[in-house]
Amino acid sequence: MDREISLKQQARRRTKIYLIVFTTLLVAAFGFIQFKSMVEPSVKRSTFTTSIAEIGVIEATVPASGIITPEYEVTISAPVSAKIEQVLFNAGEKVFAGQSILQLNKEASLLAFEKLNEEQHVNRNKINQLSLGLQKSLDELKTQYSIKQMKISSLETALDHEQSLLAIGGSTDENVKQARLTLNVAQLELTQIKNQIDNQKATMQADLKSLGYEINIREKDIKGVSDKLKNTAISSPRNGVITWVNNKIGAEINEGEELVRIADLSSYKVEATISDTYADEVKAGRTALVRINKTDLRGNISNVQPAVENGTVKFSISLSNKSSKLLRSNLKVDVFVITSYKENTVRVKNGAAFNGSEEQKVFVLEGENAVSRKVKVGESNSDYVEILSGVKAGERVIISEMQDFIHLSKVKIK
């Protein structure tokens, strides 16, 4: 016979059932949470880089490369063909204006100088000889002219005498005609001598002028060699540092051959090259940034070479701070030519998340999640990217590469 269960036992049984159900639900909920956490996409915070969107300036740039060079560098060439006799300073040493750097042996140049002087003496003697010879010929012609004048006077008297005799019957027409003919011939000879005198004077002037030109040219040659001889003691034209010197004592060098390079290492410039793709962006006067060890030095493009060589355009940059301690001769640097300037724009640091498209997806941190946003990108440079829409100032944007999650709208952050 069944016994009736007491109320106390019934209450105890219900409590037990409730505990079993609660425990089962609790275990199920915990298991669901764990499963969800295992299935839901997530990323560790340490695996990505972020940047807080801020209001600031954006300078659009195009990349180039450059090399630091002294702003002032002078090359001294050999003034004459000679041998290197003595080297007083080596590369890397400082020199002051007027200091001798090396000495040249000038024996060969001295011989050439003496030869020129001798040739000049010969030319001057030629002028004297020519002058004497021409003057002698001129004097002879003048004497002939005077004699002919006297002869004409005598012939004129003879003609008058024949005409007088003809009038009284003491002569004939034939004698008068002969006397007149003789006079006419003498007058023509006088004119011929006068023309010879004029021609001789013109010839004398032309010959003397030609020799005078030759002497002047030779005089300039002599002065040029003399000046070069004075410069055989190669000296520095300004204060600076010797960057290179031909220190091979006894070596024979030709006129015009490079001997020394001196640079003023207190002032620098940048010689840069850029792809011809950006040739239209490189203009004289534009601002450029020169990056050295994460430090930017500003400058302006001073000149642009018009020719394109091997797909690149060469240009020079005059730095605002020409004597920065960061500057070193022949140091390779990154150059950025500024093409536009904007103020009060929303910007974030540039990173692998930005692919160059005008519209793209990025992830923005919202609590424990990274939420996908569609943004519109404006100008950019190596440091910052302008955000035209999709992100507000103060929001934190993931700027590292997130391509594996680009198809998701949200990613859990661990």
From CA 273, how far away is CA 252, in angstroms rounded? 37
Name the fold adopted by 108-230: Helix Hairpins (1.10.287)
**What angle do the packed helices 173-230 and 107-168 form, to 10 degrees?**
170
From CA 53, how far away is CA 385, in angstroms rounded? 10
- pLDDT one-digit tens code per residue, 284-338: 999 999 999 889 999 999 999 988 999 999 999 999 999 899 998 889 999 999 9
Give the position of tokens 């300036």.
Answer: 57
Residue-level pLDDT at 381 = 85
pLDDT band, very low/low/confident/very high, at 36 (cuts 50, 70, 90): very low
pLDDT band, very low/low/confident/very high, at 364 (cuts 50, 70, 90): very high
The residue among 308 and 144 whose pLDDT is bigger is 308
Residue among 393, 345, 398 at smallest CA distance from 370: 398
Mean pLDDT of the region 227-236: 68
- pLDDT one-digit tens code per residue, 168-179: 776 677 877 887
Mean pLDDT of the region 224-241: 72
Instruction: Report the chain's mean pLDDT, rounded to a whole number.
Output: 82
Helix (H) or strand (E) holding 245: strand 240-245
Question: Using the 8-state DSSP alphabet, how is residue 30 labeled?
Answer: H
From CA 159, how far away is CA 148, in angstroms rounded? 16
Mean pLDDT of the region 92-110: 78
Residue-level pLDDT at 166 = 73
Say if residue 32's pLDDT is above 60: no
From CA 127, how far away is CA 207, in angstroms rounded? 9
The residue among 340 and 145 whose pLDDT is bigger is 340
Residue-level pLDDT at 38 = 47
Say if residue 388's pLDDT is above 50: yes
Give the CA distances from residue 200 to residues 142, 149, 216, 221, in Å, rounded to whole numbers and listed in that order: 11, 19, 24, 31
Question: In sequence order, what DSSP letters do the residues of 329-365 get, joined into one string?
Answer: TT-EEEEEEEEEEEEEEEEEE--TT--S-SEEEEEEE
Tokens of 11: 């209450």
Residue-level pLDDT at 8 = 65
Pick one of 1.10.3720.10, 2.40.50.140, 2.60.120.10, 2.40.30.170 as the CATH number of 45-70+267-413: 2.40.30.170
Q: Percent of the chain scored above 90 by pLDDT?
A: 27
pLDDT band, very low/low/confident/very high, at 160 (cuts 50, 70, 90): confident
Tokens of 289: 């940034």
Residue-level pLDDT at 106 = 65
- pLDDT one-digit tens code per residue, 53-79: 999 999 888 999 999 999 888 888 887
**Of 1-10, 161-170, 239-248, which has the strongest mean pLDDT?**
239-248
- pLDDT one-digit tens code per residue, 131-141: 777 777 777 77
The residue among 37 and 276 whose pLDDT is bigger is 276
Give the position of tokens 């002219």.
Answer: 145
Question: In sequence order, what DSSP letters do the residues of 21-57 get, joined into one string?
Answer: HHHHHHHHHHHHHHHHHHHS-EE-GGG--EEE-EEEE
- Other CB atoms within 10 Å distance of the CB of residue 388: 14
Residue-level pLDDT at 314 = 95
If DSSP states are collapsed to H, E and C, what string results for 362-378?
A: EEEEECCEEEEEEEEEE
Name the fold adopted by 73-106+232-263: OB fold (Dihydrolipoamide Acetyltransferase, E2P) (2.40.50)
Give the CA distances from residue 46 to residues 50, 82, 106, 368, in Å, rounded to whole numbers and listed in that order: 10, 70, 74, 14
